Structure 1
Amino acid sequence: EGLFAYLLPRHLQIIQEINHRFMIAVEKKFPNEDFRKEQMSIITGWQDKHIHMARLAIVGSSKINGVSALHSDILKKSVFKNFYEMYPDKFTNVTNGITPRRWLLQANPELAKLISNAIGEKWLTDLYELKKLEPLAEDKEFCKRFQQIKMGNKQYLARYLRDTLSIKLNHNFMLDAQIKRFHEYKRQMLNLLHVITRYNRLREGRGNENHPARLVLFSGKTAPAYYICKLIIKLIHNVAQAIEADPLVNKKLQLVFVPNYSVTLAQRIIPAAELSEQISTAGYEASGTGNMKFTLNGALTIGTLDGANVEIREEVGEDNFFLFGLKAEEIMNFRQHYNPRYYYEQNSELKQAIDQIASGYFSPSDSTLFHPLVNALLDYDRFYVLADYASYIECQDKVSDTYIDEKKWNKMAILNVAHSGKFSSDRAIMEYAEKIWNLRQISV
């Protein structure tokens, strides 16, 4: 507050007056509940006072919205519970959306052409039109062409990465992609533990020979000072080298990190992907839009009930979504007594993978390189990687079992596309106009 008073004295006076009037309103709304004032005051602290900008924004706003149904629910029930009880009519939800003109028409022109030939071009401005694809999920010729387009996109991606980055992809492998900002809550580490588990199974002859060969592709950036995530990226590279060097493994598994992630790169990866990794800790992702882009392009999702995943699963159907992991409310109840070492001790495959990382198996020149990663998992595991590991591995095995059945997989993928209509940015913008901005349409 001292700095604020020095730089913006008049602004501080106005904020103090806003807070004074607001505290009177809180007292009137909640008489004899003085704890509310402390929890809701815009100016916080006693001697070292601070201005709570989120509270100021809520008091000064006509509407507050989350960007997915789950996110909005968490705001109401937890983050801003007192404010929701004070101003229930202010809180609403507008789920995020993506533009189909870029993320399907431009990024995946062959699929866009197939769709337009089948149902017309109205879907370009009304994405709910994609529902007309639903009966075509049973159409043999449509499914065949859909599968051919996916393979063509994989081949195109392989050529592009070979020519631009000298990265060699095996386009005959199932393409399993996690492309997004690196952060511990997004749990790239959980994905990597699955890759190491698959690597160990193949090396030891424990893998299911009927399961498809898998290409796991990572891409994304992290903050320059985010040391743990930098270590995860380093570990991805080291595990990739171990897989590539092992003839017992490399015919059934490939791991790739694509550097310098960008929208341009995403437009090439997403149309080629067959499995979309949306595996953040439940309750931490506000919405996500990558999940929508993958769904629109016919990738199946493996994910938690987090962010817009909840609504994607509702739209595409429970049978067309690979669900695993703890729910947001379970995690909230779990926090006080969570012991990650329990899961480490109880699961032999998890223990093997973590012990390999800790021992220097993937960093022979520096056996202690990944100790900070291991310590973060075993001592804290703030994002419940170990708690969700067994459920995730079981779900990944289900993915492999399903992929073997081409007819079933293609049907599920087409149904994902058919039920992507809700996730258009056109719908989101219309909801903002109607619910929040109070705008009305005019003819142009």
Structure 2
Amino acid sequence: STYADIKSGKVKAEDVTPRTVFFGAKAAPGYYLAKMTIQLINNVSRVVNNDPDVKGKLAVYFPWNYNVRLAQHLIPATDLDEQISQAGKEASGTGNMKFALNGAMTVGTLDGANVEIRERVGADNFFLFGMTVDEVEAQYANGYNPAKYYEADPRLKQAIDLVADGTFSNGDRNAYSPLVADWLTKDWFMTLADFSAYMDIQSEIEALYADELEWNRKALLNVANSGYFSSDRSMEDYLERIWHTAPLAD
């Protein structure tokens, strides 16, 4: 969306908060749409990173074979940790705890370990957006129509149209048609439904990031309140609640 705004002249590049976005993920060999999504991200990276209009303002990277060694470098360098899985899918595991322990602020839904992190670090030090589990279930039950969100939010329409019109596929409008069709007709994880809330919270994030002292204060509170997620405490839980044994004596 930011890229489109700069290219269309809606906003000036010099007015944009600089961002370097890293994606860390893998896809199962048979997960066709997931692999296509990874290909799309890499093509977005190719286009954005080679565009002089956004140089120094926007960059996108998808490191191959994301693993612990790479995480050891990326996690301490991260300012904002995006844990944006759909509420109820339990996709946000322990990676987000590592980011909080290293001073990254979290933007996320009420999914998985995000819930615990928000409880520990405080709601004021966590950027919450998106539907709750109950709201997600209600959407599934009542019939979910992703196309209505596409029509209702110009930012979302603009982003999807960039993919559909070949901007990231050398002008090939068919390259990502299966993805676009899925977004507009199925969208099982309801990304479109949460998009507007995600964009709105980003404005709040950028306003806070401009206040360096306050951002750092909140980041420090994330670190200070994340001791609960230490491996020592986790092992004690396993000993007491699962294995029902005491620590071994010398």
TM-score exceeds 0.5: yes
How many residues matched?
248
Q: Within 5 Å, which residues of 2 pair with 1:216-235?
A: 216-235=21-40
Q: Within 5 Å, which residues of 2 pair with 1:128-139?
A: none
Q: Within 5 Å, which residues of 2 pair with 1:334-345?
A: 334-336=139-141, 337-345=143-151
* One of 10, 14, 17 as aligned partner of 1:206: 10
Identity of aligned residues (%): 50
1:345-370 Cα distance to aligned partner (Å, 9 max, x none)? 11111111112211222112532010
Separation in structure 2 between the aligned mates of residue 286 and residue 217 of structure 1, nearest angstrom: 18
**1:247 aligned residue:** 52
1:416 is the counterpart of 2:222: yes
1:237 is the counterpart of 2:70: no
**1:279 aligned residue:** 84
**1:368 aligned residue:** 174
Shift of 1:301: 0.4
1:288 is the counterpart of 2:93: yes
* One of 252, 260, 270 as aligned partner of 2:75: 270
SS of the residue aligned with 1:399?
Answer: helix
Shift of 1:239: 1.3
Q: TM-score, normalised by structure 2?
A: 0.94
Relative to structure 1, is the Cα distance of residues 330 and 210 closer, same or farther in structure 2, using a 3 angstrom cutoff? same
1:408-433 Cα distance to aligned partner (Å, 9 max, x none)? 11101110000001111221221122
Separation in structure 1 between the aligned mates of residue 43 and residue 16 of structure 2, nearest angstrom: 24
8 Å contact kept, 1:324–1:395: yes
* One of 302, 308, 319 as aligned partner of 2:124: 319
8 Å contact kept, 2:165–2:171: no
Relative to structure 1, is the Cα distance of residues 255 and 317 closer, same or farther in structure 2, using a 3 angstrom cutoff? same
SS of the residue aligned with 1:219?
Answer: coil
Q: State the AA in 1 paired with 2:178.
A: P
8 Å contact kept, 2:83–2:92: no
**2:213 aligned residue:** 407
8 Å contact kept, 2:106–2:126: yes
Separation in structure 2 between the aligned mates of residue 297 and residue 344 of structure 1, nearest angstrom: 36
Can you give the 5+ residue segments of structure 1 that lack an aligned partner in the other structure? 1-196
**1:434 aligned residue:** 240
SS of the residue aligned with 2:23?
Answer: strand
**1:357 aligned residue:** 163
8 Å contact kept, 1:211–1:404: no
Say which one has the larger Rg. Answer: 1
After the TM superposition, which of the residue ranges 424-433 and 272-281 deviates more from structure 2?
424-433
Q: State the AA in 1 paired with 2:103.
A: G
Shift of 1:287: 5.2
Can you give the 5+ residue segments of structure 2 that lack an aligned partner in the other structure? none
Separation in structure 2 between the aligned mates of residue 338 and residue 325 of structure 1, nearest angstrom: 15
Q: State the AA in 2 paired with 1:348.
A: P
8 Å contact kept, 1:211–1:401: no
SS of the residue aligned with 2:56?
Answer: coil
1:306-364 Cα distance to aligned partner (Å, 9 max, x none)? 00101101111111111100011110111132110000111111111112211222112
Separation in structure 2 between the aligned mates of residue 300 and residue 285 of structure 1, nearest angstrom: 20
Separation in structure 2 between the aligned mates of residue 305 and residue 293 of structure 1, nearest angstrom: 17
Q: Within 5 Å, which residues of 2 pair with 1:174-213?
A: 197-207=1-11, 209-213=14-18
8 Å contact kept, 1:211–1:400: no
Q: Within 5 Å, which residues of 2 pair with 1:53-202?
A: 197-202=1-6
8 Å contact kept, 2:101–2:226: yes
1:161-194 Cα distance to aligned partner (Å, 9 max, x none)? xxxxxxxxxxxxxxxxxxxxxxxxxxxxxxxxxx
Q: State the AA in 2 paired with 1:375.
A: A
Q: State the AA in 2 paired with 1:252.
A: K
Separation in structure 1 between the aligned mates of residue 219 and residue 185 of structure 2, nearest angstrom: 39
Separation in structure 1 between the aligned mates of residue 76 and residue 59 of structure 2, nearest angstrom: 19
Q: State the AA in 2 paired with 1:360.
A: G
